[in-house]
Structure 1
Amino acid sequence: MDAGNAVTTKLLTLLNVSATKIGKRKHLHDEFVPAEKLNKRKTTSFAAEVHFEKEKEDVSMEVDKEVAVPLATAEEEAKEEAEDVDMEEPASSNDLYENHFGVNPSSLSESSRTAVEGRSWSTSREKVGKLGSAIVSIPANSESSTSSAVSEVDILDNLKTSFTTRQAKQVKNQIELQNDILSTLATRKDLYITSTQLTTKRATREAIALHALNHVTKKRRRVLKNNERLTHAAKANPDAPPPEDVQDQGFTRPAVLILLPFRSSALDWFRAITSHTPNPTYQIENQSRFLSEYGLPAGVVDKLVTAEPGTYPPDHVDTFKGNVDDNFRVGIKMTRKTVKMFADFYGCDIIIASPLGLRRSIEKEKNADYLTSIEVLVIDQMDALTMQNWEHVKFVMSYMNKLPKESHDTDFSRIKPWYLDGHAAFLRQSILLSAYETAETRSLYNNSLKNVAGKIRTEKTWQPIEVPAGIDQTFVHFDCTNAVDEPEKRFHHFTTQLLPSILKSAVLSTNTIIFVPSSFDFIRVHNYFRKSAGVTFTVLSEYSTNQDISRARQAFFKGQKAFLLVSERFHFYKRYKIRGSRNIVFYGPPDHPQYFTEFLSFPFLDEGVEAADVSCRVLFSKYDRMRLERIVGTQGAIELIKSS
């Protein structure tokens, strides 16, 4: 018995599954009651006799007051689903969805799995339309995988028609970008866009939302079509065994997970998803509740949006506008004519959540079975997630596509074989979006994405960032041959060489900001200054209260404190302009390149300051290459590291 069959046998034995006759089969969309529901709301279900086994509905869902038509009853929804089956496009051997997520995926083989597990990839560089240059990686020695980064757009006709109509109102560049994204995602390869732009975020989000909605619709249609086949087969010959080619499900229903940093981000994705449901009769259940919980409270004015242009940087406004609570999770159930918000996790198709929200849920429920069958994973605004707590992202990833702890009334005869074999992670398509790359995001791409169809990472050639002319900039290199030792080496060089040289100078040892990117390094540097006699300093960190911030800024501006320690997370959340600085010391290059320009412009907030009065020191090692290239340009970073 091979390993895959052993896993299957063990799983079926543990869950004591027995279903042989069509009348005894329990489908994934039957009503079930988890040990403790994530959405603490009482539900009542109705059953209706139809020509195929239908989904039972939660009838206690709050009715959206803005919806003029009554919410669908269970019988009406069953009829709606039956119509959905009837309009299904004919099956094709070239169906890209079936080729990757069907019963026998063409790319899933022992050799491809072995190559992925061994991190053995064949790579090539390819131009992917408006996405630019990209590194395409496929499992080494894989015969079934294609190295191409694009394919024909694979969107259902009813979704494609309305999308094309809306595209006609957009500019050419955005239309081309969306089409390039859709054709890339149609290959079912993972996609990591490493430098999303503010001007294209909405277009990118809508294209990916369409791909996710298309995936959910195709999966649901296949399940409903097979439900109909099973019912007809049982009626035609009750004693005959059921058809064998009906494996069409995972362990649980949720197929798409979208991880986001803030509730405002969830609101943006909600609008992107519902933008693809333009039918005027379309119902969005619980829309008022969702807008209330994920938007700003009534009467609250968003100062970022109403401020004079230029008061806050555009990227800061885009990130922090609206509700910035970072603890949330919501299930969305999609039917042909209805979007049901706040659906139970085990009865929904799409989960939108923050890493913190999911982690708290998993730790409270001690169960994450709703993540076992995720087939499309989207992580947006990864740059913002790194500024929160990246451990939450890693925690959620550790629970993805594992074998379930409970059966959840699943009909195991309907589960795709590769789920039972524990191979779901090898077929999950991951879509990563970030304004820039960090070591954490690259590590996730390298180590957590195991798609045997391959993966694509976009590249960007950075140009030097603009800074005020005439400032004395010095890039200070320290040698380090091991990434593990890098924090220790950096701290040693800073405390034994860079800082002592600064303290020896009467000019450099006053009006000096020390910017520290890492929170761990910030704590270490802060403790060092606390123990250093004769050095006056104050701090600005993400934990500083408004009173602490006001006091620290005043003391530094008036010269009462010679040094001001600033963490990158503080600047990420507050983006304050700091007066009184003349010398800027970067303990490491900032992740966000704009911060470099901003800190070098702060001295000029004071009158009479010349560029010759301002100095800048940047401590770096070869492991800072991604940060450096966003400041001095890709070529400049290579030259800096080589010359050092």
Structure 2
Amino acid sequence: MAIDTDTSITTSLLTLLNVSATKAGKRKLVEAEFIPAEKLNKRKSARFSEPEPTVSEDADTAGNNLEVVETMAQDEGPDDAEGGDAYELHFGLKPAVLSEATRASVDAHNWRTSTKREGKLGPTVLTMPESSKDPATNETPRIDILARLRTPFQSRQSKKNREQTDLQNDLLSTLSSRRDLYLTSTPLESRKILREAIALHAINHVTKKRRRVLKNNERLAHAAKANPNTEPPEDVQDQGFTRPSVLFLLPFRSAALDWYSAITSHTPPPAFQIENQARFTSEYGLPPGAIDKLAEADPGTYPRDHVETFKGNVDDNFRSAWIEKIYRKRKASKPSFVKVNLLMGHFRNADYLSSIEVLIVDQLDALTMQNWEHVKFVLSHLNKLPKESHDTDFSRIKPWYLDGHAAYLRQSILLAAYETSEGRALYNNSLQNVAGKIRTQRHWSPIEVPQGIEQNFVHFDCVSPKDEADKRFHHFTTQLLPAVLRSAVQSANTVVFIPSSFDFIRVQNYFKKHSGVTFTILSEYSTNQDISRARQAFFQGKKSFLIISERFHFYKRYKIRGIRNLIFYGPPDHPQFFTELLSYPFLDEGVEASDVTCRVLYSKYDWFRLERIAGTEAAAGLIKTT
């Protein structure tokens, strides 16, 4: 993922579903059309004018402005949810959960927690603002999806097994609460199933928001037609400052195609048409004639998680957005159909993030291997008051947008293969949903390693996370490394594996100046020639130490020969990396488990990583004994 240093913002993929009201003269209507007054700089009642003639469809795509010429769901009928529409209760004119007391609790980080099992999602932790009402413990799970979306989805579910269907239904039921959700462990075999359900939730959100806009348009048009001199209704605020309301934040272009497939699975032809599909697939897929070496490799050549992450177009340096426009084209005596328009565009400021109501961040674990500051940068600009008016009709903006309270209602959905400290910090500090937030839990078993290898976990004291990096470096350079260098056996054929890029550079500089031993490095910036030279020099014994960054292993997953001693400067984020590195010595002939040494340097702040390697119980014991 990349962000330019100029005023524009770049993420690996920003998927924005275009759902808000359109400007006058850009939309076909069945009945009289409401035309907004000239743009306002303050809130006041909307004005009326006679409808303009219908414009051609081509006018919708002309210029840089993205317009919805006509929408779906004008005749959806009553809301499906029993006991009131969950969308309206949370994102309506006066959200029931938004109050001064709940906002104060969120601002002061006054939360209360409880545990609960959410069906196939497993054990979860529910966090609610201290001042909010206790959720009903016997509430019946309910899926808040419109019938026209739910019915075909259920038809497709009938072809899945019961386990998959239950997982999707439990996920949709949880999402229907409009609480934030952090899925901290998403197995490979479940990711497609989860994407389909979350994509349905996003489309449902788009559709419901669009319905509200259309109903209010119709009310205003009828009121103006019945009596042009009367004041229009005042409860028609139904929009944000800008059109995009759903944001997908992803690490690679290939992930965009995965989500595209998930979304279009709910919008099949002939009822739906996709515009700009060829351009989208060409820019986010592989170039014509290109061969995906990972997908074509023999099974077992690369770990399965590596293949799933890096197959397809894995470019992470681009600036683009995917705008989806859903609208209905209606003609007399002809069946209606829905059209979806995909368009990649560029943005000059962060105002388009001001009205995001649903945030979906996928593959958090992969994003941590890129530049986490970019993720923090994007989240820091969500739901801020825009710097420009963007031709906004302020009489149609929801009051809580104008009050600057949108962040308290935004629903954030986070998905990760495993939990990291960065992800937990984001969950704890950046999610402000007054409806609450839910985090899944997992009990980890010890990871399998080659039998007979002695694993030595080396603890160092640290009382503050701010001092953790310095304390780790001090312990490594004054105690652990000198002990290794005093041994003739352990001071050769030794790999130092370093999770943090900052620590990697720091240790590399130390080896250059003070270690007095030969070494070589492998980092994510190493060229193919550098990699070949370093691996060969280490295997042949020309270099005693090999320093590897975790990002190198994440991106390349090379098998390293010649290892006899392993030093983990910190436990790796990905638990599979631990067992892989410990298995590499046995690539060489005649190596016994007793020939291999393993040291893991850790502190109490390595809990997430340690738990995935040693197991939940053993990790708790290691932390308690320190």
Are 2:220 and 1:238 equivalent residues in the alignment? no
Q: Give 1:614's aligned residue.
A: 596
Q: Give 2:488's aligned residue.
A: 506
Query: Shift in Å at residue 489 of structure 1?
Result: 0.4
**Residue 530 of structure 2, aligned match among 533, 536, 548:** 548
Give, as a single letter, the amino acid of the residue that structure 1 aligns with 2:60. Answer: E
* In structure 2, distance between residues paired with 1:287 and 1:457: 35
TM-score by length of 1: 0.86
1:402-413 equivalences in 2 (<5 Å) = 402-413=384-395
* In structure 1, distance between residues paired with 2:465 and 2:496: 23
For the 8 Å contact 1:253–1:373, the answer to whether it is kept is yes
Structure-2 change in CA distance of 1:56 and 1:139 (3 Å): farther
Structure-2 change in CA distance of 1:579 and 1:21 (3 Å): closer
* In structure 1, distance between residues paired with 2:356 and 2:441: 27
Give, as a single letter, the amino acid of the residue that structure 1 aligns with 2:198. Answer: I
TM-score by length of 2: 0.88
* In structure 2, distance between residues paired with 1:257 and 1:376: 6
Q: Give 2:341's aligned residue.
A: 340
Q: Give 2:164's aligned residue.
A: 174
Q: Give 2:440's aligned residue.
A: 458
For the 8 Å contact 1:145–1:454, the answer to whether it is kept is no
Give, as a single letter, the amino acid of the residue that structure 1 aligns with 2:586. Answer: F
Are 2:78 and 1:89 equivalent residues in the alignment? yes
**Residue 287 of structure 1, aligned match among 277, 285, 288:** 277
* In structure 2, distance between residues paired with 1:625 and 1:55: 57
Are 2:47 and 1:57 equivalent residues in the alignment? no
* In structure 2, distance between residues paired with 1:402 and 1:15: 19
Query: Shift in Å at residue 488 of structure 1?
Result: 0.3
Give the length in aligned residue pairs: 573
Instruction: Report the aligned-residue RMSD.
Output: 2.2
Query: Shift in Å at residue 238 of structure 1?
Result: 0.2
1:209-608 equivalences in 2 (<5 Å) = 209-326=199-316, 327-329=318-320, 330-336=322-328, 337-342=338-343, 365=348, 367-532=349-514, 534-608=516-590
Q: Give 2:47's aligned residue.
A: 22
DSSP 3-state at the match of 2:74: helix
DSSP 3-state at the match of 1:245: coil
Q: Give 2:181's aligned residue.
A: 191
Give, as a single letter, the amino acid of the residue that structure 1 aligns with 2:339. Answer: T
For the 8 Å contact 2:564–2:597, the answer to whether it is kept is yes
Identify the structure with the greater helix proportion: 1
Query: Shift in Å at residue 144 of structure 1?
Result: 7.7
DSSP 3-state at the match of 2:154: helix
Give, as a single letter, the amino acid of the residue that structure 2 aligns with 1:440. Answer: E
Q: Give 2:30's aligned residue.
A: none
Q: Could you give the per-residue CA deviations for residues 42-82 of structure 1, whole angstroms, max 9, x where no partner exists?
A: xxxxx7449xxx99721589xxxxxxxxxxx99xx54xx3x
* In structure 2, distance between residues paired with 1:328 and 1:208: 24
DSSP 3-state at the match of 1:258: strand
For the 8 Å contact 1:128–1:150, the answer to whether it is kept is no
* In structure 1, distance between residues paired with 2:445 and 2:136: 33
Query: Shift in Å at residue 127 of structure 1?
Result: 0.3
Are 2:151 and 1:161 equivalent residues in the alignment? yes
Give, as a single letter, the amino acid of the residue that structure 1 aligns with 2:48. Answer: G
Give, as a single letter, the amino acid of the residue that structure 2 aligns with 1:16. Answer: N
Structure-2 change in CA distance of 1:257 and 1:223 (3 Å): same
Structure-2 change in CA distance of 1:391 and 1:627 (3 Å): same
1:107-146 equivalences in 2 (<5 Å) = 107-143=97-133
For the 8 Å contact 2:120–2:170, the answer to whether it is kept is yes
* In structure 2, distance between residues paired with 1:487 and 1:268: 37
* In structure 1, distance between residues paired with 2:40 and 2:47: 19
Query: Shift in Å at residue 17 of structure 1?
Result: 4.0
Give, as a single letter, the amino acid of the residue that structure 2 aligns with 1:544. Answer: S
* In structure 2, distance between residues paired with 1:15 and 1:233: 21
Give, as a single letter, the amino acid of the residue that structure 2 aligns with 1:190. Answer: D
* In structure 1, distance between residues paired with 2:63 and 2:408: 38
Q: Which structure's relative contact order is higher, taking Cα pairs within 8 Å and 6+ residues apart?
A: 2
For the 8 Å contact 1:591–1:627, the answer to whether it is kept is yes
Query: Shift in Å at residue 90 of structure 1?
Result: 4.6
For the 8 Å contact 1:256–1:377, the answer to whether it is kept is yes
Give, as a single letter, the amino acid of the residue that structure 2 aligns with 1:342. Answer: L
